[in-house]
């Protein structure tokens, strides 16, 4: 346990020392993604908007099940869950294999590998913040009153960023060592999407299943975002769900430190 604590402190130290480089690399990653595109940064919102439009057409026109939820437009309810999913889906599929995405940084002797996970999560978090800002604009367009519960959005962002950074630090060394493992993790993206309450209300599930869903980090994030916009309640008013999420953060942190301490020296040789 002492060794894991030492590794955790080292990861914190590395991220603090390299914080400016991490921020710059996050911005560079975003610029590189949309470089050469005529619409530029607009593409940040095009993909989410297209998906939201398709899902809304499916439920509202095809299935005729787009009734308002808690008095809020179904379109807003869906956006509050789908936009965070784009962030989390990318972390499941790609964030767990960042070392193969940035091999030129892995092979730099002095560059801490944990910072790669940090700036990749930060890059995607910038996109998430942008899409949630778009959701606030959507509220204004739909004449939905903005409430004090939106003040907890930064806390939700921080909790999400912490968990998925630890997720990346945990799984990226394993994915670098084994391509089969990285492909296995990537296949989890689709099941997580359909089973986590992104497109349905968790309250409609049987109580026995709902207890299990409390340990689903994707479910927590979707519920927390909808607490800000739809249900209008503080995230700590669901103490069991928040407690399960914080427990998951602790468990993933321990797994991340164990994986990182054992494998981070081997990753450059493998790649």
Question: For the chain, give me the number of helices (H) and strands (E)?
Answer: 14, 0
Q: Closest Cα partner for 76 from 20, 30, 145, 28?
A: 145
- By C-alpha distance, which of 177, 188, 219 is closest to 202? 219
Count the residues in the chain: 271
- With beta carbons less than 8 A apart as the criterion, state whether 11 and 260 touch: yes
pLDDT at 192: 86
Mean pLDDT per 10-residue interval, the chain, length 271 residues? 84 92 89 62 73 80 73 87 92 89 80 91 92 89 90 96 96 86 83 86 83 92 94 93 96 94 78 66
Q: In the prediction, which pLDDT does 64 show?
A: 67
Q: What is d(CA 69, CA 201) in angstroms, rounded to the nearest whole number?
A: 9
pLDDT of residue 179: 80
Q: What pLDDT, on the 0 to 100 scale, is given for residue 37?
A: 54
- Unique residue bearing structure tokens 């005729």: 64
What pLDDT is recorded for position 161?
Answer: 96
Task: Provide the terminal-to-terminal Cα distance of the chain, rounded to the nearest Å.
Answer: 29
**Closest C-alpha to 146, from 154, 136, 155:** 136
User: What local confidence, expressed as pLDDT, does residue 35 receive?
Assistant: 63
The span from the CA of 240 to the CA of 196, in Å, is 17
Query: What pLDDT shows up at residue 109?
Result: 65
Q: What is the pLDDT at residue 28?
A: 87
CA 77-78-82 angle, 5° bins: 130
Cα distance between residue 139 and residue 109, in whole Å: 48
Domain ranges of the chain: 2-270
**Cβ atoms of 268 and 100 closer than 8 Å:** no
């Amino acid at each position: 346990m002492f060794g894991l604590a030492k590794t955790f402190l080292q990861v914190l130290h590395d991220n603090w020392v390299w914080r400016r480089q991490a921020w710059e690399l996050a911005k560079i990653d975003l610029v590189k993604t949309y470089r050469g595109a005529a619409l530029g940064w607009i593409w940040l919102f095009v993909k989410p908007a297209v998906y939201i439009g398709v899902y809304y057409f499916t439920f509202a026109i095809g299935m005729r099940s787009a009734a308002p939820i808690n008095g809020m437009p179904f379109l807003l309810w869906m956006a509050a869950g789908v936009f965070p999913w784009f962030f989390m889906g990318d972390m499941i599929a790609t964030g767990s294999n960042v070392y193969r995405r940035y091999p030129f940084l892995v092979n730099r002797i002095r560059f801490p590998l944990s910072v790669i996970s940090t700036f990749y999560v930060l890059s995607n978090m910038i996109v998430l913040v942008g899409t949630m800002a778009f959701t606030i604009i959507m509220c204004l367009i739909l004449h939905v009153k903005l409430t004090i519960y939106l003040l907890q959005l930064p806390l939700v962002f921080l909790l999400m960023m912490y968990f998925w950074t630890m997720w990346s630090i945990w799984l990226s060394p394993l994915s670098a060592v084994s391509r089969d493992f990285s492909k296995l993790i990537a296949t989890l993206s689709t099941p997580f999407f359909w089973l986590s309450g992104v497109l349905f209300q968790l309250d409609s599930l049987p109580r026995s299943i709902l207890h299990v869903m409390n340990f689903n980090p994707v479910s927590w994030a979707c519920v927390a975002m909808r607490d800000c916009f739809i249900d209008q309640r503080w995230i700590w008013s669901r103490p069991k769900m928040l407690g399960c999420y914080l427990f998951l953060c602790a468990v993933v942190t321990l797994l991340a430190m164990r994986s990182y301490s054992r494998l981070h020296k081997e990753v450059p040789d493998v790649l």
